[in-house]
Amino acid sequence: MTEQAAIELAGVHKDFVSHGETVHAVCPTDLAVRPGEFFSLLGPSGCGKTTMMRMIAGFEEPTGGTVRLDGTDVTGVSAHHRDVNMVFQSYALFPHLTAYQNVAFGLQRRKVARSEIRRRVGEMLEIVSLNGMQRRSPRELSGGQQQRVALARALVNRPRALLLDEPLGALDLKLRQQMQLELKRIQREIGITFVYVTHDQGEALTMSDRIAVMRDGRIEQLGTPREIYERPATRFVAGFIGTSNLLDAAVQRIDDGIALVTFGPGERVLVPVPAGVTAGQDLEISVRPEKIGLRREEPTDPGCSVLSAVVTDVVYHGTSTNYTVKTTAGPDLVVFDQNAFSAEDLAGPGDHVFLTWAPQHSYPIGV
């Protein structure tokens, strides 16, 4: 039996009219978010991710299509009658109320019994690690603590789903990274569905069970963080998620499912390809920088990819050293060398080096 989706979009789209022209903010989309899933909508500004979330929340009316929550059609239902809550980047806390009063506000409006309010608010403040801070006003709390209050206030009503629109954008980098782990912990502990909007690839990879990568109102790829990072479906996804080296070449031959692509003398790229790829066919190949080894001497293993290169730039990043190199394969490539054993540079600008990686780290895009 197929599990009922927590949130389902069927042919949902949103059009706006601007200066007499129709703008397709969200193209017709089918999407199912599973119960208890941490689901992220990821993409650059203007890709339609916030509009899609606002249609789920009821703040935007779809131009067409159907929005369902737990199988119930809520397309024409107003936002305050949908069993979802939303957390914004601005927190929107009441400055004249304490942390406790902010969290209790929604329950008081619903006229929940005072003893039940105390119990549920206390539980929620404990879950978000704010014990002992019940009487503090928002101005007496740090940015991360204010975000926790906003989360507790949204969760205390026990919504079917929580929608989060770039909620960590106002925090500094270190606090943002801490809150990513906290959000995932809270979501697992509470067990409700989270839908998270972000343009930050690191956030999406860290927290999500699945990610929908959006571009120009469409979902370019939907999958787990590992699937999207290791096997990007399009050139856009390969470039948007982390850093990726992209090579264009024609297949010379195929042996046992491994395509051979050659460039200069002694240079080769080995690519696992599905059935149907033929000799002479053009390929787009993605190789992640951390998968590539940089060597001074030419590798002798015939079972690996090898490119000759010249180092053009070296940047030390603490945990890794990043090398930019020029090759005969086309655009400049990037190599990340982890500083696990030594922080000494493997090479400097102007040095001739060899790049090598295993066949499974070459991924053909779109085939």
Residue 163 shares a structural domain with residue 228: yes
User: What is the rounded CA–CA span in Å between residue 89 and residue 53?
Assistant: 14
Residue 281 shares a structural domain with residue 152: no
Residue 171 shares a structural domain with residue 227: yes
Helix (H, G, I), strand (E, B) or coil at 128: coil
pLDDT band with cut points at 50, 70 and 90 for residue 2: low
pLDDT score recorded for residue 114: 93
135 lies in a domain?
yes
Query: The domain that contains 343 carries what CATH number?
Result: 2.40.50.140
Residue 178 shares a structural domain with residue 273: no
In order, the DSSP letters of 45-86 are TTSSHHHHHHHHHTSS--SEEEEEETTEE-TTS-GGGSSEEE
The whole-number average pLDDT for the span 22-38 is 96
Residue 52 shares a structural domain with residue 174: yes
3-state DSSP of 195-255: EEEECCHHHHHHHCCEEEEEECCEEEEEECHHHHHHCCCCHHHHHHCCCCEEEEEECCEEE
**CB neighbour class for 254 (10 Å; exposed up to 12, middle 13-18, buried from 19):** middle
pLDDT score recorded for residue 343: 67
User: What is the rounded CA–CA span in Å between residue 101 and residue 137?
Assistant: 9
Residue 268 shares a structural domain with residue 173: no
2 lies in a domain?
no
pLDDT band with cut points at 50, 70 and 90 for residue 58: very high
Strand 210-215 relative to strand 84-88, pairing: unpaired
Q: Which two tokens stand for residue 162?
A: 């929580």
pLDDT score recorded for residue 245: 95
Q: What is the DSSP letter of 269?
A: E
| Domain with 116 in it | 7-239
C-alpha 84: how far from chain center: 22
Residue 221 shares a structural domain with residue 344: no
User: What is the rounded CA–CA span in Å between residue 80 and residue 51?
Assistant: 17
pLDDT band with cut points at 50, 70 and 90 for residue 48: very high
* Strand-pair partners of 214: 219
Residue 43 shares a structural domain with residue 151: yes
Q: Tell whether the model's pLDDT for residue 1 goes beyond 60.
A: no
Residue 231 shares a structural domain with residue 264: no
Q: How far is CA 21 from CA 15, 17, 64, 216, in A?
A: 10, 5, 18, 16
* Domain termination residue (choose one: 216, 239, 262): 239
Query: The domain that contains 73 carries what CATH number?
Result: 3.40.50.300
pTM of this structure: 0.90
The whole-number average pLDDT for the span 1-26 is 90
pLDDT digit string (tens) for 131-177? 889 999 999 998 888 988 998 999 998 899 999 998 888 778 888 88
Structural domain count, the chain: 2
User: What is the rounded CA–CA span in Å between residue 180 and residue 197?
Assistant: 13
76 lies in a domain?
yes
pLDDT > 90: what percent of the chain? Answer: 71
Residue 166 shares a structural domain with residue 276: no
31 lies in a domain?
yes
pLDDT digit string (tens) for 246-283? 999 999 999 999 999 998 788 999 999 999 999 999 99
Residue 144 shares a structural domain with residue 168: yes
pLDDT digit string (tens) for 316-355? 988 899 999 999 888 899 999 988 777 678 899 999 999 9
Residue 11 shares a structural domain with residue 157: yes
Cα dihedral 123/188/5/25 (nearest 10): 100
User: What is the rounded CA–CA span in Å between residue 208 and residue 147?
Assistant: 19
* Domain termination residue (choose one: 221, 239, 257): 239
Residues whose CB falls within 8 Å of the CB of residue 268, separated by 6 or more in sequence, listed in order? 260, 261, 262, 305, 306
322 lies in a domain?
yes
Residues whose CB falls within 8 Å of the CB of residue 82, separated by 6 or more in sequence, listed in order? 57, 58, 69, 74
pLDDT score recorded for residue 313: 96
Higher pLDDT, 321 or 179: 321
**8 Å CB contact between 84 and 70:** no
Taking all residues of the chain, what is their mean pLDDT, rounded to a whole number? 92
* Domain termination residue (choose one: 200, 221, 239): 239
pLDDT score recorded for residue 169: 80
1 lies in a domain?
no
